[in-house]
Amino acid sequence: MSETVLDVRDLEAGYEPGVPIVRGASITVDKGEIVVVLGPNGAGKSSLIKAVAGLVPISRGTVLLDGKDITAAPAHTMVRLGLAFVPQTENVFPLMSVEDNLKVACGILERRQAPASIEEMYAMFPDLARQKRSAAGNLSGGQRQMLAVARALIVHPKVLVLDEPSAGLSPKFVAVVFEMLAAIRKSGVTILLVEQNAKAALAIGDRAYVLVEGKERHEGVASTLWDDPVVAELYLGQRPLKREAGGAA
C-alpha cells in the first residue's frame, strides 16, 4: 500500500483577502514519488506550493504532512516539521562559500551532526565538494541549483518541494538538474516539483497534475500525460503541436 506523505485538500490561498489565487486545489504525494505540477503561466503553481510551505496565506482547506495538520504552521517551522521548500530564485547565499551555505542549512540539526551531514551532501554532489571554498554566486547555474537542493536535503526532509529548478538554465544544465532529481528520488526522497519544462519533468515523474486557474484540472500517470488530449488542450500554445502527418491539428 502506498503511504501518503503530503495531502493537500481543497486549498484556497492568495495574497489579498477575498482574492484567491489557489482555488480549491487538491493534490497528494505518496512516499517515494516524484509528483509534478504543470500548468500555464499564472495558473497559481508557485502560489500553491508557497501556500503549502507557509509562505502564502491560506483561507480554506488543509495541508497534512504525514497525517499531521500543518495548514497553519509558519514558514520558519516547516523544515523542522519535515517539509523543505526550494524557491525558484534566491535559494542560496551568493556571497557565502558553498560550505558555509551548507553549514547554515544544518540549522535544525545538532551541532555535532553537521560535519557528517555536510560530507553526506559532498558524497551525493561531488561538484559541490570540489567547489566547497567558492562563493555560491560563482557556481554555474546547474551547480547553484544543486547547492540549493543540497541545502534542503541536508536535514532529511519528509518531502522536498521545488519551484522550477530548471528555470533559466541552458539545456545542458537542465539535463544535469533532472538527472540529479531522478537520482535523489532513487535514494528514497519524496519530491513535489513545479515545472515549466513539462516534457523533462514528466520523464522523471511518477504522477502529474495540471493546474489551471488555481485548481487541478487533470491528473495522471506522468509517462502517459504528455500524449493525453486533455492535457494538449489545457496546454494549448504551451507545447509543440502534435505531429500529425499532413493533417491540420
Ligand X SMILES: Nc1ncnc2c1ncn2[C@@H]1O[C@H](COP(=O)(O)OP(=O)(O)OP(=O)(O)O)[C@@H](O)[C@H]1O
Q: Which residues bind Mg ion (CB under 5 A)?
A: 45-46
Q: Which x/- pattern over 190-219 shows residues binding ligand X (rule: CB under 6 A)? A: ------x-----------------------
CB of 203 to ligand X, least distance (A): 19
List strands edge to edge, sheet with 159-163.
83-86, 159-163, 191-194, 34-38, 207-212, 215-221
218 binds, among Mg ion, ligand X, none (CB under 5 to 8 A by kind): none
CB of 223 to ligand X, least distance (A): 23
Q: Which of 5, 34, 43, 65 binds ligand X (CB under 6 A)?
A: 43
54 is an interface residue for ligand X by CB under 6 A: no
Are 39 and 193 within 8 A, CB to CB?
Answer: no
117 is an interface residue for ligand X by CB under 6 A: no
CB of 232 to ligand X, least distance (A): 18
Residue where the block lists cell 488543509: 62
187 is an interface residue for ligand X by CB under 6 A: no
Are 94 and 87 within 8 A, CB to CB?
Answer: no
84 is an interface residue for ligand X by CB under 6 A: no
Residue/partner pairs of 20-23 with CB below 8 Å, 24 or more apart: 20/59, 20/214, 21/47, 21/56, 21/214, 22/47, 22/48, 22/51, 22/56, 22/214, 22/215, 23/213, 23/214, 23/215
Q: Which is nearer to ligand X, 55 or 114 (CB)?
A: 55
Contact set with ligand X (CB under 6 A) = 15, 21, 39, 41-47, 196
